[in-house]
Chain A
Amino acid sequence: AQTVTQSQPEMSVQEAETVTLSCTYDTSESDYYLFWYKQPPSRQMILVIRQEAYKQQNATENRFSVNFQKAAKSFSLKISDSQLGDAAMYFCAYRSRYSGNTPLVFGKGTRLSVIA
């Protein structure tokens, strides 16, 4: 079974600075999706960024980018120019592409605080 590990329960960053959240995963598959979801205090899970394993290029969405290291099974999220609204829980998630039916497997999350 696939597992996702987020080793940083909590992180903090100064406003306008850059922070990197870590995620590692364990799988024997070669084709899959990886995601970062944001959960603000409102509770709703919002997709931040996704990566397809067959794509070597790291995904980028505005201030959010990933460092995808397939061989190392690492998928970190970099937030540049941090803003107060970035404060939230961040979840890394994995999904196999093989069967097409598989649900997401989530890490335990990292709580990010942004200091003004």
Chain B
Amino acid sequence: DAGVIQSPRHEVTEMGQEVTLRCKPISGHDYLFWYRQTMMRGLELLIYFNNNVPIDDSGMPEDRFSAKMPNASFSTLKIQPSEPRDSAVYFCASRNKGLADTGELFFGEGSRLTVL
């Protein structure tokens, strides 16, 4: 399996622009997580999905952030409008519940966002 695939790997944009981050989870995984990593706050959970349904979005910082999972193989995290304080590395991770669940999360390589 190719693992969790995220794009873009790097994104530089200007304040006020829309940013869309993409994620393809591991095939067969039914949980998908979006995390944000900053030096100050470490790894923060933004939102997670089960079978394409958002379960907990309490970590989403504000209304400028939205996430969707239209099908089992694709998810987006959108920031509109973006602000400099959104600069961070955004990770997508997936997991398989059930007998194959070892508790482990499988991470993508992250998308580094810089908002000027």
Which residues on A are within 8 Å of B, measured CB to CB?
33, 35, 42-47, 50, 52, 91, 95, 97, 100-101, 103-109
Chain A interface mostly: loop
Binds A, one of B13-21, B61-69, B71-79, B101-109: B101-109
A42 near B109: Cβ-Cβ < 8 Å: yes
Complex Cα distance, B31 from A24, in Å, reads: 27
Complex Cα distance, B105 from A109, in Å, reads: 17
A101 near B43: Cβ-Cβ < 8 Å: no
A103 near B43: Cβ-Cβ < 8 Å: no
Complex Cα distance, B35 from A91, in Å, reads: 14
Collect the chain B residues with CB atoms within 8 Å of residue A100's CB. Answer: 97, 101
Which residues on B are within 8 Å of A, measured CB to CB?
31, 33, 42-43, 45, 48, 50, 55-56, 89, 91, 93, 97, 101-105, 107-110, 112
B89 near A43: Cβ-Cβ < 8 Å: yes
**A43: contacting residue among B50, B93, B110, CB under 8 A:** B110
Chain A: CB-nearest residue to B55? A101
Shortest beta-carbon distance from A38 to chain B in Å: 11
Report, nearest first, the 4 A-B pairs whose CB atoms are least far apart: A33-B103, A45-B107, A108-B42, A106-B43
Collect the chain B residues with CB atoms within 8 Å of residue A33's CB. Answer: 103
Collect the chain A residues with CB atoms within 8 Å of residue B104's CB. Answer: 35, 47, 50
Shortest beta-carbon distance from A29 to chain B in Å: 13
For the complex with contacts A43-B112, A105-B45, 4 further pairs of A-B residues with Cβ separation under 8 Å are: A91-B42, A101-B97, A103-B33, A106-B42
